[in-house]
């Protein structure tokens, strides 16, 4: 009997321990009681009534990624291509996620495929290749609205790969090559143009500098000639001033000496001799000098007698 109670106690302890549950961080447990939804356990320790409560679903509430395989789509200009998408989603309501749809991830994959076909069907090939952001935004909006009743929030949708047909890829590569060659030609032409402009500007600058140097040289030469003429004029003026000063001094000395009339006459005759100098053809002799000359001639005759 004792062993029976011990065994019963052990079984009871095991049952109690087995029904104690700890919910980790960013997890949620959906609990059913007698087959119906009862509650949702959040992070922490919880106790489940044995044989009555049941954990219906363990939910991961962290953001998750669903990478779907490539889907065949046809563009507006009838180009068939393969596009694979990546969907970032998060379970926001464990109850809705558990009871809203039987296979929510399969539903999201099919919804992604049909939505992608609808959006790409309204676009041409070139627009499809250059409008990834537009396609991503449209798909995220549609998927988020469609999955809201399932307790799922779609945060982001990305087109992972766009794979056009082989012939389209070859044509695109040729187009890209031609575009690169065109850009290279433009860059080369721009470089040659800039080089020519720089050379012309250099020659222009050199000509301007040479003209400026020639101008400065002419200015300096003119200033030197002007300075030389000024100095020459100053020398001549100084010489004239000295001659005039000497003449004035001579006159002053003569005046101070009070020369006799005869001396003045003799000096006049000497001056007359210098004036004639054998070169003059016509000489006008003042009357005073003529009288003096007559006087000198009379004195000479008297002396001879």
Tokens 């000198």 locate to 296
* Mean pLDDT on 75-79: 87
Predicted pLDDT at 288: 54
Kindly report, residue by residue over 170-196, the tens digit of the pLDDT: 777 787 888 888 888 888 888 888 888
Residue 103 vs residue 239, higher pLDDT: 103
> Which whole-number Å values give the CA distances from 175 to 56, 132, 157, 171, in the listed order?
57, 20, 30, 6
Rg, C-alpha atoms of the chain: 64
Domains in the chain (CATH in brackets) are 2-60 (no CATH), 64-164 (3.30.479.30)
* Torsions phi, psi for 48 (to 5 deg): -105, 135
Number of helices (H), then strands (E), belonging to the chain: the values are 8, 9
pLDDT of residue 267 exceeding 80: no
Could you give the CA distance from residue 260 to residue 257 in angstroms, rounded to a whole number? 9
Q: Do the beta carbons of residue 119 and residue 135 sit within 8 Å? A: yes
Predicted pLDDT at 11: 83
pLDDT band at 260 (very low <50, low <70, confident <90, very high): low
Of 60, 109, 103, 61, whose CA–CA distance to 86 is shortest?
A: 109
Predicted pLDDT at 299: 45
Residues 6+ apart with CB under 8 A from 292: 265, 268, 269
pLDDT of residue 99 exceeding 70: yes
Portion of the chain with pLDDT greater than 70, in percent: 82
pLDDT of residue 290 exceeding 60: no
Of 145, 52, 58, whose CA–CA distance to 94 is shortest?
A: 58
Residue 92 vs residue 259, higher pLDDT: 92
pLDDT of residue 146 exceeding 90: yes
Element (H, E) at 157: strand 152-163
Could you give the CA distance from residue 88 to residue 162 in angstroms, rounded to a whole number? 18
Predicted pLDDT at 262: 56
CA 141 from centre of chain: 39
Kindly report, residue by residue over 16-38, the tens digit of the pLDDT: 888 889 999 999 999 999 989 99
């Amino acid at each position: 009997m004792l062993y029976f109670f011990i065994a019963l106690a052990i079984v009871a302890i095991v049952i109690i321990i087995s029904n104690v549950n700890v919910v980790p961080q960013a997890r949620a447990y959906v609990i059913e009681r007698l087959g119906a939804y009862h509650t949702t356990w959040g992070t922490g320790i919880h106790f489940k009534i044995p044989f009555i409560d049941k954990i219906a679903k363990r939910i991961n509430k962290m953001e998750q990624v669903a990478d779907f395989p490539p889907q065949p789509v046809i563009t507006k200009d009838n180009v068939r291509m393969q596009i694979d998408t990546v969907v970032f989603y998060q379970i926001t309501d464990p109850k809705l996620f558990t009871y809203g749809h039987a296979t929510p991830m399969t539903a999201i994959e099919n919804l992604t495929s049909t939505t992608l076909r609808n959006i790409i069907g309204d676009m041409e090939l070139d627009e499809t290749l250059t409008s990834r952001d537009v396609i991503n935004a449209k798909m995220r909006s549609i998927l988020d609205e469609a999955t809201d009743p399932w307790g799922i929030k779609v945060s982001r949708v990305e087109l992972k790969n766009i794979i056009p047909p082989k012939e389209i890829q070859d044509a695109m590569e040729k187009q890209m090559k031609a575009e690169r060659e065109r850009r290279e030609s433009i860059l080369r032409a721009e470089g040659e143009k800039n080089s020519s402009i720089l050379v012309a500007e250099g020659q222009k600058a050199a000509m301007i500098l040479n003209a400026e140097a020639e101008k400065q040289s002419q200015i300096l030469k003119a200033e030197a000639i002007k300075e030389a003429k000024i100095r020459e004029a100053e020398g001549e003026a100084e010489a004239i001033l000295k001659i005039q000063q000497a003449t004035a001094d001579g006159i002053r000395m003569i005046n101070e000496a009070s020369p006799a009339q005869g001396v003045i006459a003799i000096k006049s005759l000497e001056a007359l001799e210098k004036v004639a100098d054998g070169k003059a053809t016509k000489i006008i002799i003042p009357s005073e000098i003529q009288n003096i000359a007559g006087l000198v001639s009379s004195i000479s005759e008297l002396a001879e007698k």
